[in-house]
Amino acid sequence: MFDLKKDYKILSIDIAETRNGKLMAKLNLKCADSENVLNAVIWQEALNNIDKAILKPGNIVKIFDGAYNSQYNNYSINDIRLIKEAKSGLDEAERKNFFNQILEEVEEFKDENLKSTILQFLFENADKVKTAPAAAKIHHNYIGGLLQHICECINIAKANIAVIAVKINQDLVIAGCIMHDIGKIFEYNLNEETFAISKNKDFQKVWINHLHWGFCWANKNDLSELAHIIASHHGTREWHALVEPMTNEAVLVHQVDMISSRLGLIQVDQLESNNQIL
């Protein structure tokens, strides 16, 4: 039940326009001291009086005025206030460390074209690479999430290369770890006020998804083996891979991507309680 005395954590938030052009926010709220999860809405009239910066996942809030709507089985909130602000991502020093770790990996590459092309891309797009989330909802959905996902993938890949029997081109795998999701720096928009992550509609008009972007980028730079890794890293067509993995390196990047995206430091609200940085 909705309890005005209790604190709630925002699990997810989606602010969208209704059919009649008004703004509304849909929230998933978890009671701080139980497993109860509530669906709530804030209509535009109430939203106008609320600082939208407080409406972000992980924040602890209190509801000061609201009512249960039995017709929709949700709660309509009229007044909500911030109790404790969650981290919205990695801080600058953490992001710098991850970015430098990635640069050091690339500096080790023996393939000169692979090295210079990726270094040039990273320097030219450093600001976006350092802040981009790795996804809107599912995993690493916070500022610097993509960097953390890349470094998790690199570390998991290296641990695997050390113990598997088949011959693997390590440079290519590390390049795949770095570039497989890099199209996401253009695919998503990060709202700097609310930290809400949304799809970039202009990107969607031109590209199928980040795999398509990365595939074309790699081929344009004469990196066809890397292009295949990027195109296939989701594993199957069902998961929007352009093609299934056909090389050992592509299979490995697909697998480490799965591990990091399912078992890594996944959600923004875990950043408070989990200081483990791979």
Candidates 3-11, 15-23, 257-265, 270-278 — which segment interacts with Fe ion by CB under 5 A?
257-265
CB 155 within 8 A of CB 278: yes
Considering only 181, 187, 249, 269, the residue that binds Fe ion (CB under 5 A) is 181
Query: CB of residue 180 vs Fe ion: minimum separation in angstroms?
Result: 6
DSSP structure string for 94-124 = HHHHHHHHHHHHHHT-S-HHHHHHHHHHHHH
Size of the site for Fe ion (CB under 5 A): 2
Nearer to Fe ion, 47 or 257 (CB): 257
Q: How far is Cα 259 from Cα 160, in angstroms, rounded to an integer?
A: 12
Q: Any idea what the Cα angle at residue 228 is, between residues 227 and 230, rounded to 5°? A: 65
Nearer to Fe ion, 181 or 269 (CB): 181
Scanning residues 182 to 241, which ones bind Fe ion (CB under 5 A)? Answer: none
Strand runs (DSSP E) across 58-176, as ranges?
60-69, 74-84
Query: CB of residue 210 vs Fe ion: minimum separation in angstroms?
Result: 6
Query: CB of residue 199 vs Fe ion: minimum separation in angstroms?
Result: 14
Nearer to Fe ion, 77 or 146 (CB): 146
Q: How far is Cα 212 from Cα 219, in angstroms, rounded to an integer?
A: 11
Taking CB under 5 A as the rule, does residue 152 contact Fe ion? no
CB 40 within 8 A of CB 9: no
Candidates 16-24, 49-57, 106-114, 250-258 — which segment interacts with Fe ion by CB under 5 A?
250-258
User: Cβ neighbours of residue 248 under 8 Å, at least 6 residues apart?
Assistant: 166, 167, 168
Query: CB of residue 255 vs Fe ion: minimum separation in angstroms?
Result: 11
Nearer to Fe ion, 181 or 249 (CB): 181
Taking CB under 5 A as the rule, does residue 257 contact Fe ion? yes
Query: CB of residue 125 vs Fe ion: minimum separation in angstroms?
Result: 17
Query: CB of residue 196 vs Fe ion: minimum separation in angstroms?
Result: 20
Residue 97 buriedness (CB in 10 A; 0-12 / 13-18 / 19+): middle
Distances (CA, A) of 173 to 3, 13, 29, 274: 51, 36, 40, 28
First vs last Cα of the chain: how many Å apart? 39
Candidates 115-123, 167-175, 193-201, 251-259 — which segment interacts with Fe ion by CB under 5 A?
251-259
Binding interface with Fe ion (CB under 5 A): 181, 257
